[in-house]
Structure 1
């Protein structure tokens, strides 16, 4: 069935109008987020009434734990260094102490005042028999005498004066603590109020390390408390642990050495613990029906608004301009958006005029220095080096942005197209497989994408249905191909446009399931007395208390910290503290939400001032928790709407603004540190 051109054009025009009305009450529709699973349900949840609840009022209302490739939930349980970080000696300690003559020799050599050639080996003491003894001596010399390198040969330990730590062959000597264990130090990163890139930026600046040394499986939400695995190339645990004494909203721990570098998609998903505040208690029956519907049928697997940019929402437009090789427009969208950090600069209008007239503008070091740290600052640095008069100048300057940031724009455009196609598919055919759909076979890889025909339609379920994230090699579903082709044509593209002439921006495409089914799903309605009450307490809060307490308090700590719920046990709330594991153990049920639901009436009998909804669930990688919440509340999930609700809830001087101000001050302080490094980190 051919889609009317006017309807196709209307859908495509949304992309071009994305930045025109940031105050729109339904920002989701501009990115193709239009449908709900409940609209197509046969029974039950046809009520489309919006039930507003405040999401992310506090950072602790949104807790995210990465789930690794082995299906283990990533948690920060220890800030201690590995036991093997400082090797114990096989011999008595007395055998490792230098005598007076040896100490004098080491001191003189380290100062460069010893007799003879400064760049020749000096014999210090005979080699100990134990390997750990020798290793400990080398470590001791490296830590105490910063201008010496040491080496074992000819039956003795020798040292050489070398401020650059290079030996006689000009090779830099490494005192890598993970020698023999691996080239990477793996650790758990906890962050609060920062994106994954911002948290790594903090670590790099404080430790003076390059971004390219760090790698992780995927990005985590900014306005949240998150835990994820990170690997650092040849940066040891003691160095990384210094972050814990410097930063209040970034902590690292659970150190271990490994040969495996984390790469894109190295996780299997994320575990979420969310709190929706200020729920209307009279709407609980409506929410209960929707909660059970989500548990049974899942939710539409839309790309959430985070994919398109938190405020200026121009990421898809930038991605479209890259695909069309309109590089001057790429620069305009980045530098001159409505929320650009450059708008307050005295030279902003002159810079903008130079782009309109295609003339060169002299960007000075002072301009870059006064620009707040961010995308605009990095792009300006590139334009200063290469200029802005030609497309090639802008292409070269664009490389000053981290690779993941550059690819983010392209992925945002793909996500916007995917959302629009899915909404159109559901409006045409509903929640049933039809001839011309695509499904993912048993192997779950691209090669197993199967077209639905009359012969095989009964072999698959709608849960297997996928829509392509369009790329140059994507197989288009026959029943939606004309719609997709016309959308691309309206944007001045064709499918071959994704095979970009610049190798890094080539997009082969992927496939994404239409419906996402959450796992380990449970919910609970809670009551609390104060609008800013910290209902969910993070594991880090308990961990810091544990580090400060003496051993005599350990039993109390273990009793108070429920690792499954993260519900604060001492905040005076009346919620039922039920963990998933305890429910299964006591009741033998694989589904926890129905059991938790049975506790709702008891909770709501207490006449507290506020009601909230606590959710716990696991989602696969690239699925958005905000889209699950949207399915439950039928309410706006945009950052602007949620912030307005939050301000109204607790006043303009509420906790949300206090938390943001606290970390904005820290961020401004970090901007004063000028550190040059390569932004080559990859993330999903």
Structure 2
């Protein structure tokens, strides 16, 4: 086989900023490292410095509106996930779940009157209201009712038997009453059997406190083994300008379940319109469907039953529809060449700026401190005042720095600052235990710091690989996947695909618990025989994310990993401490493709006049029949009786699919030949 050149002749182009040394410096004469933090994190600071082609770019604005960035998940079957229907699944129409059929179709007035004789008016009315709530199909949480205090054990037995005989969808148990001498019968809705809130396998009653189960939590009626279909319900979650935690938090609150009950394959950008699959355990579809009238910026649809829930990484990728507004260019031919070039030549598969945090403290800086074992320094960096933050939050941090009042800081610190609050709550219980405070941060968030440093090294390594050897061919010493060990599509190979969004951290931490143990694919070092046979192309080249189970290229690229880590006071072969999760030698590591080309690539130029008009249809627009500005005809503005025609502007709309963990912003960077940070600026009015 001859050597194939996927990209044709070399079209390598470097940004003006060369690969920069680490932003971290470590004094060799002192155990305390010093940090040099850029005022504003830019791409060269994290190793993003090269382009694939020398085609000229142009100016355009990304994400002026959140609908300019549309993300649709691609599931494991390769299907693009869309919101297309609000209808209930046919199974819900044909078959009512156990409990609902009994409670909806029967008239319980006679039974309630019999119960009134046994327990009195107050308890009878409470039971009546509970039955009405169940029959209405309300999306509100169906809380248990606690009957009046009763010290007569025989009478309580009669009550239990009454419910067992007349209501197969209720379970009852005995809980402690409002005082030490009395007990109460608790009545709870179940889809068929006692689930986790009733009797346990040994037949012993669960005795809890007044109004709670034995563990002190609210009763969850979803544990029935008699659920008639798949144990999980899957739905398509459509959200506008909301992150995963916020959207599922709202839905969970309405359903009365914890956010961690939801499963999903990956997170999407907050400032976007996104559609993705979500699963939840034994929540009736009707309870989900009726939420749509009360949800703002969120919709639920395409509901169905499935046997298994989703976990992180179970996707093939994401399809993007991206609109660049206010395009300024000398000729449309330049846009045509650049847009065609992106589809033909692809882009360098850098980790985007999102990977390193949106705040003023880059996450890879904290990761480096953790690798060095400087626990107090890491805590201080997370808690201390920082430039560019909201004034109110900055003041809270400053007060804490001055007086160390943990209670005051917790009272005033926003709840979305998950890491800070977790640290403070631990320090309140264990003053001075900085390592324990760091471990109190939800696992996915604290691991984000160390993964970010891995990504930081990887970005610098790929820039050196491109600068040193170009992109037209594979060279001796490169790493490639073995042909018989290629990763399955949809499998995330680099350590974590989760971007640095602390608001999602708690949710992701819960979801990641069910991920299977990571298994790395086999890679090989390219030799002269591979080159002569033309067995591989530049598209096959991968680079490692540092860890204990990876190998490094057998060429000059390997040196940059060790050199940069050494400058930061970190060894890639020996740990500075015994805390495994903050030790790079205890991490598995991973591999990531150097080059990425968009799939299903399309583009079109659009003329528009109003900066705030939608230029791309979302899933919700299609369902509701809403048209975009591009489809409207003869649009004009009338002022004081005279017709004013707004100045026509140019936009570029792109559509393409990328695998998990590839950043669409890096594709846009290649297209515009400018920083993705600059492209995200607002249009000037």
| TM-score between both structures, scaled by the size of structure 1 | 0.72
Alignment of 1:132-531 (within 5 A): 138-139=168-169, 147-148=187-188, 169-170=204-205, 174-175=221-222, 179-241=227-289, 243-336=291-384, 337-340=386-389, 344=393, 348-353=397-402, 361-364=404-407, 366-375=408-417, 377-396=420-439, 399=440, 401-431=441-471, 432-442=473-483, 443-445=485-487, 446-457=520-531, 458-479=534-555, 480-496=557-573, 501-505=578-582, 506-531=586-611
Give per-residue Cα distances to partners, 1:4-45, cap 9 Å, x unaligned.
xxx9995224788773221x7xx1111111111004xxxxx3
The residue that corresponds to 1:118 in the other structure is 156
Maintained 8 Å contact 1:324/1:497: no
Q: Report how far residue 485 of structure 1 moved.
A: 1.2
String of CA shifts for 1:196-231, please: whole Å, max 9, x gaps: 233233334444432321221111111100111122
State the distance in 2 between where 1:119 and 1:313 align. Answer: 62
Task: Say which structure is richer in helix.
Answer: 1
Q: Rate the CA distance shift 1:476–1:627 in 2: closer, same or farther, 3 A.
A: same
Q: How far does the alpha carbon of each residue in 1:104-162 deviate from its partner, in whole angstroms, 9 at most, with x for none? A: 235556544799522453357989xxxxxxxxx745999xx99356899xxxxxx99x9
Residue number in structure 2 paired with 1:599: none
Question: What is the CA distance between 1:627 and its match in structure 2?
Answer: 0.6
Distance 1:93 1:118, change over 3 A: closer
The whole-number CA distance in structure 1 between the counterparts of 2:163 and 2:561 is 75
Q: Which residue of 1 aligns with 2:106?
A: 97
Residues in 2 aligned to 1:368 and 1:482: alpha-carbon distance in whole angstroms = 45
Shift of 1:60: 0.6
> For each residue in 1:70-101, what CA deviation from the matched residue of structure 2 results, as whole angstroms up to 9, or x when unmatched?
101111122333343473599x9999524653
- Between the two proteins, the alignment pairs up a number of residues equal to 551
> Does the 8 Å CA contact 1:299/1:628 hold for their aligned counterparts?
yes
Alignment of 1:33 with 2:48, yes or no, is yes
Using the alignment, how far apart are the partners of 1:89 and 1:464 within structure 2? 51
- The alpha-carbon deviation at position 490 of structure 1 amounts to 0.9
Q: Is the 8 A contact 1:469 1:512 kept in 2?
A: yes
Give the alignment's Cα RMSD to 1 decimal: 3.8
> In structure 2, the residue corresponding to 1:279 is in which secondary structure?
strand
From the superposition, tell whether residues 613 and 413 of structure 1 become closer, same or farther in structure 2 (CA, over 3 Å): same
Structure 2 CA distance for partners of 1:94 and 1:30, relative to 1, 3 Å: closer
Distance in 2 (alpha carbons) for counterparts of 1:450 and 1:89: 54
Cα shift at 1:251: 2.0
Secondary structure at the counterpart of residue 534 of structure 1: coil
Which string of whole-angstrom CA distances, capped at 9 and with x for unpartnered residues, describes residues 154-177 of structure 1?
A: xxxxx99x9976687335783558
Confirm or deny: 8 A CA contact 2:222 2:281 kept in the other structure: no
Q: 1:529 to 1:447 in 2, by over 3 A?
A: closer
Match for residue 20 of structure 1 among 26, 38, 41? 38
What SS class does the counterpart of residue 53 from structure 1 fall into? strand
Residues in 1 aligned to 2:113 and 2:198: alpha-carbon distance in whole angstroms: 21
Counterpart of 1:75 in 2: which secondary structure? coil
Task: Flag the 1:503–1:200 CA change in 2: closer, same or farther, 3 A.
Answer: farther
> Is this contact kept in 1: 2:222–2:282, CA < 8 A?
no
* Distance (Å, rounded) in 2 between the aligned partners of 1:84 and 1:441: 46
Instruction: Describe how 1:527-566 pairs up with structure 2 within 5 A.
Output: 527-543=607-623, 545=624, 557=625
CA distance in 2, matches of 1:123, 1:291: 73
SS in 1 for 2:324: strand
Which ranges in structure 2 are unaligned for 5 or more consecutive residues? 1-16, 26-33, 125-146, 173-184, 207-218, 488-519, 636-644
Distance in 1 (alpha carbons) for counterparts of 2:97 and 2:349 = 56
Indicate how the Cα distance of structure 1 residues 531 and 257 shifts in structure 2: closer, same or farther if over 3 A, else same: same
Per-residue deviation, residues 606-650 of structure 1 (Å, max 9, x unmatched): 996100000000000000111111111112211xx345x4142xx
Where structure 1 has 5 or more consecutive residues not aligned to the other structure, the ranges are: 1-6, 40-44, 128-136, 153-158, 355-360, 546-556, 562-566, 575-605, 652-684
Deviation at 1:331, TM superposition (A): 1.5
What are the superposed Cα offsets for residues 349-398 of structure 1, whole Å, 9 maximum, x if unpaired? 342257xxxxxx3411x5323221222552354245434423334234xx
Check the 8 A contact 2:343/2:597 in 1, yes or no: yes
Provide the rounded CA distance (Å) in 2 between the counterparts of 1:448 and 1:163: 44
Matched, 1:11 2:50: no
TM-score (norm 2): 0.72
Partner in structure 2 of residue 679 of structure 1: none
Partner secondary structure for residue 33 of structure 1: coil
- Give CA deviations for 1:290-325 in whole Å, capped at 9, x if unaligned: 222221221110111111112325111111112222
Q: Distance in 1 between matches of 2:436 and 2:103?
A: 64
- Change beyond 3 A, Cα 1:524–1:61: same
User: Residues 296 and 141 from structure 1, CA distance in 2 versus in 1: closer, same or farther, beyond 3 angstroms?
Assistant: same
| 640, 643, 651: which one aligns with 1:612 | 651
Once residues 197 and 103 of structure 2 are traced to their aligned partners in structure 1, the CA distance between those partners, rounded to angstroms, is: 31
Counterpart selection for 2:75 from 63, 68, 81 = 68
Counterpart for residue 511 of structure 2: none
Shift of 1:405: 1.6
With over 3 angstroms needed to count, the CA separation of the structure-2 counterparts of 1:498 and 1:206, relative to structure 1, is farther
Whole-Å Cα distance in 2 between the matches of residues 500 and 76 of structure 1? 49
Q: Higher mean Cα deviation, 461-470 or 369-378?
A: 369-378
Asked if the contact 2:383/2:420 (under 8 Å) is kept, the reply is no
- How far apart, in 2, do the equivalents of 1:225 and 1:637 lie? 19
Q: Deviations over 1:253-275 (max 9, x none)?
A: 22223231212210000000010
Alignment partners' CA distance in 1, 2:90 and 2:112: 28
Deviations 1:433-468 (A, max 9, x none): 111111112231444311011111221111100011
Once structures 1 and 2 are overlaid, which stretch shifts more, 383-392 or 482-491?
383-392
CA contact (8 A) 2:47 2:463 kept: yes
